[in-house]
Amino acid sequence: MTTSPADQREPAVDPFPPAAPGYVPRRTLPLRVEAVRQLRRRRTLVVGLLLALLPPLVAVAFAVGGAPDDSESALLDSATASGPNFAAVCLYLSAGFLLVVPVALFCGDTVASEAGWSSLRYLLAAPVPRWRLLTAKLLVALAFSAVAMVLLPLSALGVGTVAYGWGELRLPTGGTLPGGEAALRLALALAAIFVGQLVTAALAFWLSTVTDAPLGAVGGAIGLTILGSILDAITALGDWRQLIPAHWLFAWLDALQRDVEWNGMLRGGAVSLAYALLLVALAYRHFARKDIVS
């Protein structure tokens, strides 16, 4: 380390600037940087692989064990009818639990893992403003979650098309949709699932600001989601169940009805969004003045 007088950058105008030259709060922790920081983590790759490999596994299972013949569910019945059908079935199989995991993982891990690595204090002292840190982390975690969610049906669509051919989507309620429109409907279903998962994301995110243990945040979010499903099974709660986010876990199937049934998706989305807003606000509020002792 050598420092000579020539190295010293003393600004000519203000010898005592309020910040280092070039420092602008809202340019700190750019989304791209945060994405690169998270991308090469092993858990990112594992989650990606898991979701991409599930459809081939399901296809193999169908090939070995025979296509499902379930009189209860017309959707499962038609799993091997076409690529879009296979994708819909894979979504159906994973929407209940599997897709919750990447969301809880990516969002629950945000702040807590930085705290665990002790890198949080250096980011905050850089300084990355706290709101900025939360925003960047939340957006990147949501983007990762979205990509993870897209990965599964995309892989399923590919695998299904190879295995069963491209064709129309046989709807669970009867009738069919041409392949192109089916793909759009699947995209809509996926969007609905994503909005429905916002509550899990926000819950995990909030927990992540509260605890320094990433697994605590992830597990807490998944646990509460399961609790919601259990509560929703108590029919005695009647209309109150509409306020349980898990009540709308399968509202996205409305996108696979003959005419898209918006009502259920809108309600589910509204409930999820409302909780998500509150939880994210709690996260910001808590983190804004939190003493960082990690």
Place of tokens 């025979």: 66
- Among 7-15, 61-69, 147-155, 206-214, the segment contacting another protein (CB under 8 A): 7-15
Q: Which of residues 230-259 bind another protein (CB under 8 A)?
A: 241, 247-254, 257-259
- Cβ(177)–Cβ(169) under 8 Å? yes
Q: Give yes or no for residue 69 binding another protein (CB under 8 A).
A: no
What type of residue is 133? L
Q: Which of residues 186-215 bind another protein (CB under 8 A)?
A: none
Exactly one of 12, 13, 16, 238 binds another protein (CB under 8 A); which one? 16
Q: Give yes or no for residue 56 binding another protein (CB under 8 A).
A: no
**Which ranges of 109-238 would DSSP assign to H, the alpha helix?**
110-117, 119-125, 130-164, 179-210, 214-232
Name the minimum Å distance from CB 134 to another protein.
10
Q: Is 167 helix (H, G, I), strand (E, B) or coil?
A: coil
Q: Give yes or no for residue 77 binding another protein (CB under 8 A).
A: no
- Among 49-57, 83-91, 146-154, 264-272, the segment contacting another protein (CB under 8 A): 264-272
Which C-beta is closer to another protein: that of 60 or that of 285? Answer: 285
Name the minimum Å distance from CB 293 to another protein.
7
Q: Give yes or no for residue 170 binding another protein (CB under 8 A).
A: yes
- Among 53-61, 115-123, 148-156, 213-221, the segment contacting another protein (CB under 8 A): 115-123
How far, in Å, CA of 19 to CA of 49, rounded? 44
Which C-beta is closer to another protein: that of 56 or that of 250? Answer: 250
Exactly one of 46, 61, 119, 187 binds another protein (CB under 8 A); which one? 119
- Among 50-58, 61-69, 129-137, 217-225, the segment contacting another protein (CB under 8 A): 129-137
Q: How many residues bind another protein (CB under 8 A)?
A: 97
List of residues 6+ apart from 113 with CB closer than 8 A: 214
Q: Give yes or no for residue 65 binding another protein (CB under 8 A).
A: no
How far, in Å, CA of 45 to CA of 165, rounded? 29
How far, in Å, CA of 116 to CA of 221, rounded? 18
Q: Give yes or no for residue 128 binding another protein (CB under 8 A).
A: yes
Would you call 252 exposed, middle or buried from its count of C-beta atoms within 10 A (0-12, 13-18, 19+)?
buried
Residue 201 Cα distances to 30, 107, 135, 222, 275, angstroms: 21, 5, 13, 10, 10
Angle in degrees, CA 266, 272, 278, rounded to 5: 130
Q: Give yes or no for residue 64 binding another protein (CB under 8 A).
A: no
